[in-house]
Chains A and B, each alone.
Chain A
Amino acid sequence: MARRNDLEHKALHLIANTGNQGVLQSELWRNLDASSREGSRIAIKLENKGLVRRERELFSGRWTYRLYPKRQPASINSIVNCPCLMCPDDSRCGAWSTISPNDCEKLTEWILILVQRETNPSGET
Chain B
Amino acid sequence: MLPLVDDETLVKVAEAFGSEEAVRIIDVLKEVDETTDDQIAAQTGIRLNFVRKILYKLYDHSLVALRRSRDQNTGWFIFHWRLQPDQLEGFILNQKRRVLEKLEIRLRYEENHDFYYCYTIGCKRIPFEEAMELVFRCPTCNKPLMHFDNGKIVNALTKKVEQLRKELGE
Where the two chains meet, the residues of A that have a C-beta atom closer than 8 Å to any C-beta of B are 8-9, 12-13, 16-17, 19, 46, 49, 51, 69, 71-80, 82, 84-86, 90, 93-95, 100-103, 107, 111-112, 114-115, 117-119
Contacts and interface: CB of A to CB of B under 8 A. Distances in A.
Interface in B108-162: 108-109, 124, 152-153, 155-157, 159-160
B106 A17 contact: no
21 contacts: A12-B3, A13-B6, A13-B85, A16-B6, A46-B2, A51-B4, A69-B4, A72-B4, A74-B4, A75-B9, A76-B13, A77-B12, A78-B164, A82-B99, A85-B99, A93-B102, A95-B109, A100-B105, A102-B106, A103-B124, A115-B155
B12 A80 contact: yes
A9 B106 contact: no
B67 to A, nearest CB: 17
B88 A74 contact: yes
A98 B61 CA distance: 26
Contacts of B88: 74
B44 interface: no
Given A111-B157, A118-B152, A76 B102 contact: no
Contacts of A19: 6
A8 B12 CA distance: 24
Max chain A Cβ within 10 angstroms of own Cβ: one of B88, B95, B102: B102
B99 A84 contact: yes
Contacts of A94: 105
Given A80-B16, A107-B102, A74 B9 contact: yes
Given A79-B96, A101-B106, A103-B124, 13 more contacts: A9-B3, A16-B6, A51-B2, A75-B92, A75-B167, A76-B95, A77-B12, A78-B160, A84-B99, A107-B106, A114-B159, A118-B156, A118-B159
B6 A17 contact: yes
Contacts of B39: none
A107 B153 CA distance: 12
Given A51-B4, A76-B13, A80-B12, A119 B152 contact: yes
B163 interface: yes
B18 interface: yes
B103 interface: yes
A78 B4 contact: no
A10 to B, nearest CB: 10
A120 B152 CA distance: 12
A71 B2 CA distance: 11
Contact of A111 (B6, B18, B156): B156
Contacts of B17: 86
A12 B3 CA distance: 8
Contacts of B16: 76, 80, 85-86
